[in-house]
């Protein structure tokens, strides 16, 4: 007699919530899977009434979208939760933020009122700090990159080594100077706006391209932060790069 998965009374989903969270400081070294485990445990500790999947090995219903790579900090990561009881989003935000370690910070929680958040995450705004690289060197490399029509790079992805164009999805690439470090080393900053395409083009791909087209080799690994993701605004190529995308949760907020 083969054992069947127990049929349980799974309570129906009555509410969906969208979270924006940040990955900061030393916790930027967490991978997506690390975050998933931490979130699921925090949800259990806070007693959030999650909806579960059926089967022998039921999982809480959580969808993760477009997570920033390991080692990259972010101010704009998105997750969606399905619940079997209606919760106050603000209280959930406070409780979850408290339960997660410092550095994985829940910034806002809104109730889902519109479908398909993933489709609204059209592009990301990144800043890339390059300690040890002077601003001039960085801006001439950026200019060389922008002049290209294509910039092929290769990266090991889940489906093996892939070669793709890192130039086309780059909407903006600008450079500025950070205030020098305590020991006086220079530090250039790249402001980068990249459309989400498949395979995804990430800041490290753009850095790989800068190395190829302009021999830019940072002496110290770059520090990358995703500042925002969302729909590209009209005129995304002018003005403050941080305004190049709009708030993807705006539609859920009434």
Partner 1 sequence: MSVESVFPQLEALLPLVTKPVQYVGGELNAVSKPWDSVSVHWALMYPDAYEVGVPNQGVQILYEVINEHPDALAERTYAVWPDLEALMRANDVPQFTVDCHRPVGAFDLFGLSFSTELGYTNMLTALDLAGIPLHARDRDESHPVVVAGGHAAFNPEAIADFVDAAVLGDGEQAVLAITEIVRAWKAEGRPGGREELLLRLARTGGVYVPSFYDVDYLPDGRIQRVAPNRPGVPWRVSKHTVMDLDEWPYPKAPLVPLAESVHERMSVEIFRGCTRGCRFCQAGMITRPVRERSARTIAEMVDNGLAKTGYEEVGLLSLSSADHSEIAVIAKGLADRYEGTETGLSLPSTRVDAFNIELANELTRNGRRSGLTFAPEGGSERMRKVINKMVTEEDLIRTVATAYGNGWRSVKLYFMCGLPTETDDDVLQIAELASRVIETGRQASGTKDIRCTVSIGGFVPKPHTPFQWAAQLDHETTDARLRKLRDVIRADRKYGKSIGFRYHDGKPGIVEGLLSRGDRRVGAVIEQVWRGGARFDGWSEHFSYDRWMAAAQNAFEGGPVDVDWYTTRERDYTEVLPWDHLDSGLDKDWLWEDWQDSLAEVGVEDCRWTPCFDCGVCEQMGTEIQVGPTGVTLLGMPPLPPRGDDLLAAAPSPGTAL
SS3 state at 206: helix
Residue 253 interacting with partner 1 (CB under 8 A): no
Distance CA 57, CA 52 (A): 10
Residue 176 interacting with partner 1 (CB under 8 A): no
Binding partner 1 by CB under 8 A: which of 103, 129, 165, 174?
103
Helix (H) or strand (E) holding 35: helix 32-46
Binding partner 1 by CB under 8 A: which of 1, 7, 156, 161?
1
- Binding to partner 1 (CB under 8 A) within 131-160 occurs at none
Distance CA 208, CA 202 (A): 10
Which among 127, 28, 111 has a CA at the least distance from the CA of 77? 28
Distance CA 27, CA 114 (A): 31
Distance CA 99, CA 81 (A): 16
Could you report how far apart the first and last alpha carbons of the chain are, in Å? Answer: 53
The least distance separating partner 1 from the CB of residue 107, rounded to whole angstroms, comes to 18
- Binding to partner 1 (CB under 8 A) within 9-38 occurs at 15-16, 26-27, 29-31, 33-34, 37-38
Residue 28 is given by DSSP the state G
The least distance separating partner 1 from the CB of residue 153, rounded to whole angstroms, comes to 17
Candidate ranges 86-94, 145-153, 169-177, 191-199; the one touching partner 1 (CB under 8 A): 86-94
Binding site for partner 1 (CB under 8 A): 1-3, 6, 8, 15-16, 26-27, 29-31, 33-34, 37-38, 40-49, 52, 56-58, 60, 70-71, 83, 85-89, 91-92, 95, 99, 101-103, 111-115, 220-222
């Amino acid at each position: 007699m083969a054992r069947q998965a127990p049929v349980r009374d799974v309570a129906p989903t009555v509410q969906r919530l969208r979270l924006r969270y940040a990955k900061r400081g030393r916790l930027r070294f967490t991978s997506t899977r690390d975050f998933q485990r931490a979130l699921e445990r925090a949800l259990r500790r806070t007693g959030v009434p999650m909806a579960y999947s059926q089967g022998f090995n039921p999982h809480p219903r959580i969808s993760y979208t477009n997570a920033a790579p390991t080692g990259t900090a972010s101010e704009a990561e998105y997750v969606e939760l399905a619940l079997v009881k209606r919760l106050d989003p603000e209280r959930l935000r406070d409780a979850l933020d408290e339960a997660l370690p410092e550095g994985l910070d829940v910034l806002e929680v809104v109730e889902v009122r519109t479908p398909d958040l993933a489709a609204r995450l059209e592009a990301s705004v990144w800043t890339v700090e390059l300690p040890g690289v002077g601003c001039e060197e960085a801006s001439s490399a950026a200019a060389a990159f922008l002049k290209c029509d294509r910039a092929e790079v290769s990266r090991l992805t889940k489906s093996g080594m892939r070669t793709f164009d890192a130039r086309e999805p780059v909407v903006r690439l600008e450079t500025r100077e950070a205030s020098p470090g305590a020991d006086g080393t220079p530090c250039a900053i790249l402001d980068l706006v990249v459309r989400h395409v498949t395979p995804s083009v990430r800041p490290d791909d753009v850095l790989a391209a800068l190395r190829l087209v302009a021999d830019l080799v940072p002496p110290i690994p770059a520090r990358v932060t995703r500042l925002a993701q969302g729909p590209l605004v009209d005129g995304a190529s002018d003005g403050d790069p941080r305004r190049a995308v709009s708030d993807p949760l705006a539609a859920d907020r009434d």
